Amino acid sequence: MTIKRPLDGMLVLDLGQIYNGPYCGLQLGFMGARVLKIEPPEGDVVRRRKREVEPWPLVMLNSNKESVVLDLKQPRGREIFLELVTKADVLIENFAAGVMDRLGIGWDVLSKLNPRLVYGGSSGFGLDGPYRDLPAMDVTVQAMSGITNATGDADGPPTKAGAAVCDFLAGIHLCAGILGALVQRERTGKGQRVEVAMHEAAVTSLASAMGAVMDGDTNVPDRTGNRHPALAMAPYNTYACADGYVAIFTAAERHWHSMCRMLGRPELLEDPGLSSTVGRAKRMTEVDDIVSAWTLSRSKAEVLKLLNEAHVPCAPVKTAREVATDPHLEARGFWVDTNHPRRGKTRVPISAIRLHTGGKSEIRSPAPTLGQHTDSVLGELLALKADELTRLRTDGVTRPVTEKKA
C-alpha cells in the first residue's frame, strides 16, 4: 500500500471515553490510522448528554473514526473484542485503574494474545500509589494537581480552569507515548504498555507556580489572578480598555523600553528601580497602574495596534464565540465543515499537529453515530456472516440502547 501519512495501515481500538482517550485517538486518526471507536451499548458518556442529537464535543473528538458497539460485560462481546485485538496495532483506554483487568481484557491478557500490541492507558492517578483508586475527572484532577488552587484572584477562592486542561494534557501525553512505543516496536518487534496519569501530566503545567515553591520564594500567594504565577514579571496582566480587556506582558527589556516610549513616559527608563525584570516585579502594582491608566482610555483595537507596532507581546481577551470566528484560525484552515449524519453541517477543528511532509490533516469522515459501523467492521475484519451479526444484535451484544430490540 502507498503510505501518505505516518500511521496509514495501522488499526487502533479506541475505548476512550469523554475527552482524554478520544483526544488521543483523534490525533492518531489524523495521522492516518484506522480508528475503531469501541462503545458500550449506551455509548460514550459524552454521547449520552443529549439523546436527540450528538453533542458538539463528541462530534469534534471523533472525526475519522468508526463506531462499533460491543457489550464487553457479555462473554461473546469479550470474545469479539479479543479477536479484534489480534489484528490491532494500538489500543487506547482511559478507564479507572483496574477496570480492564476486571473485565478480563487487561494488559496481561492482551499482550500474550498480540505481542506487537501497543497498549495506551490513561487513568487519573496511575496504576499504583495511594491515589490509584480515587475517582478522577478533570475537575478533581485539577484540584489534586494544584491547578485549582493556583487559579483565581489572591483574595478570592480557588477556581477551576475554564478549560478541561487535565483531560487534554493527558490525551496528548498518551498520544506521544504511543508514537514512541510504535517507533520502538519497529526496532524490536515488540509492543509495550504506555501509562499516563492525568495527575502527573497536569502538575507539569504549573511550571511557574511550582518554580516559586522550588526556589524557596515565601512572598508569593497561592493565587495571583492574571499576574505572573510567581509574581516575577511586570507588566504581566490583563488590562481593562474602553471596550474590553487585553493581555500584556514584557518578556524582555526591549519590550519594556518600547512600552515606555509608546506610553510617552521616557522618564521611566531613567528610574533604576524599574530598569530590570526583578525591579519591576517588586513594584508590580505601580507598573500595573501606569499601564492601566493608558489602556483604559483607549479601545482594544487601538491598544493592540500600538502595542504590536511597538513589538510588545499582547493579545485581546476573546470569548469562545469570538474564537469560533477567529480570522487567523479561518486563514489557517483550522475549522472544517463536515456533514454529520444527524447534526447536518457541523464545524470541527483539524489537528493542531501539522506534519508538513507527512500527509495533510483532514476530515476523511465525520464522527459516527452510535454503532454506525458495527456490522461492516465485524463483517470485514472478522468475517462474521449476516445471520451471526443479526444474532449479536438480538442478544444485545452489539445493539445500541437507542435501537429497538429485534
Task: Give the catalytic positions in this structure.
Answer: 167
Question: How many C-beta neighbours within 10 Å does residue 211 have?
Answer: 14
3-state SS assignment for residue 346: strand
Contact in structure between 259 and 235 (CB atoms under 8 Å) = yes
**Radius of gyration of the chain from its Cα atoms, rounded to whole angstroms:** 25
Provide the grid cell at 366.
Answer: 465525520
Provide the grid cell at 354.
Answer: 501539522
3-state SS assignment for residue 70: coil
Helical (H) or strand (E) element with 214: helix 207-214
CA distance 198 to 250: 32
Provide the grid cell at 93.
Answer: 483506554
Contact in structure between 224 and 158 (CB atoms under 8 Å) = no
**375: closest CA among 403, 349, 398, 341?**
398
Provide the grid cell at 278.
Answer: 526583578
Provide the grid cell at 103.
Answer: 473485565
